[in-house]
């Protein structure tokens, strides 16, 4: 009988509570009853495996993957990082999905009505798989800030949405990457929905001169840490 590793608990200090009063729309959408704790079974310890069939050629370059033949407008950047388990093991061949607004702060999404220009050459989305060492990399343009209705003068700091799977159903993570030095961070109800300051810092990418490509693009590094496996495997099914 093979053994299955259990995972460390979700770190409740790292994640935002459902009810986050500054983030107004959580009031009607946050589950209010306590979650029911269950042991980790094969249902939680297995997870989907994606391959090249879900990744289009060129989908790691958001400056060109609209396919129009003209590049997206904005400050070109390269975002790269390593996907790791909490104990430091790289997460290889896992699907990373990203989406963002354009340089003016406008999503091409059908429901975005912000009065900022659309970029006809910007799709604002990409997909890639991590390599054998857990690394991902994509080229894009730096997203703009944009207003939202959380209060009378609320603005989202520049951010890129990330969706990750990891090895198991329980390692699924949806998060957002922010940029260093953004004055909007401490005013943002979503960034601030993470109560712990050190945990919030892990959402901020680092500018890295070494990750930049001379005469082409500035580089940002954003490592993502998923729940990690315990050291001692448990008896499997």
Partner 1 sequence: MPSWQTPAQTLGPFFHQGLARTRQAFQLPWLCGDAVDVIGNVLFNERTLGQRIRVEGVVYDGLEEPMVDALVEVWQADAHGRYNSPLDTGESAVDATFTGFGRAPTDEKGAFSFLSIKPGNVPWLGGLVQAPHINVIVGARGMARQAFTRIYFDADAGLASDPVLSRVPAARRHTLIARAGGEHDGALTYRFDLHLQGENETVFFDF
Task: Please identify every residue annotated as catalytic.
Answer: 107, 146, 156, 159, 161
> How many Å separate Cα 8 from the centre of its chain?
21
- Residue 122 · residue 82 · CB < 8 Å: no
Shortest gap between Cβ of 222 and partner 1 (angstroms)?
Answer: 9
Phi, psi of 3 (to 5 degrees): -105, 150
Stretch that binds partner 1, among 69-77, 130-138, 197-205, 206-214 (CB under 8 A): 197-205
Binding mask 15-44 toward partner 1 (x if CB under 8 A, else -) reads: xxxxxx--x-xxxxxxxxx-xxxxxxxxxx
Shortest gap between Cβ of 214 and partner 1 (angstroms)?
Answer: 30
Q: Is residue 93 close enough to count as binding partner 1 by CB under 8 A?
A: no
- Residue 227 · residue 170 · CB < 8 Å: yes
C-alpha distances out from residue 190 to 156, 159, 177, Å: 8, 11, 12
Binding mask 112-151 toward partner 1 (x if CB under 8 A, else -) reads: x-----x-x--xxxxx------------------------
Q: Is residue 70 close enough to count as binding partner 1 by CB under 8 A?
A: no
Q: Is residue 111 close enough to count as binding partner 1 by CB under 8 A?
A: yes
Burial label for 171, CB within 10 Å (0-12, 13-18, 19+), is: buried
> How many Å separate Cα 62 from the centre of its chain?
15
Q: Give the one residue of 144, 200, 205, 220 binding partner 1; rule: CB under 8 A.
A: 200
């Amino acid at each position: 009988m093979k053994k299955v590793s259990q995972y460390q608990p979700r770190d409740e200090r790292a994640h935002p509570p459902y009810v986050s009063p500054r983030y107004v729309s959580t009031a009607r959408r946050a589950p209010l009853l306590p979650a029911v704790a269950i042991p980790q079974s094969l249902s939680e310890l297995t997870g989907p495996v994606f391959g090249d069939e879900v990744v289009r050629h060129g989908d790691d370059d958001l400056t060109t993957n609209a396919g129009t033949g003209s590049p997206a407008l904005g400050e070109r950047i390269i975002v790269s990082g390593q996907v790791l388990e909490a104990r430091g093991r790289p997460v290889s061949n896992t699907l990373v999905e990203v989406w963002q607004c354009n340089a003016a702060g406008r999503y091409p999404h059908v429901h975005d009505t912000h009065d900022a220009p659309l970029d006809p050459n910007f799709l604002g989305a990409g997909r890639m798989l991590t390599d054998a060492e857990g690394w991902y990399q994509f080229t894009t343009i730096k997203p703009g800030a944009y207003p939202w209705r959380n209060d009378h003068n609320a603005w989202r700091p520049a951010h890129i949405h990330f969706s990750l799977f990891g090895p198991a159903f329980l390692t699924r993570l949806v998060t957002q990457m922010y940029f260093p030095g953004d004055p909007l961070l401490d005013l943002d109800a979503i960034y601030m929905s993470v109560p712990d300051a050190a945990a919030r810092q892990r959402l901020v990418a680092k500018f890295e001169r070494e990750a930049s490509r001379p005469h082409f693009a500035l580089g940002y590094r954003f490592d993502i840490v998923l729940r990690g496996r315990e050291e001692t495997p448990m008896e499997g099914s």
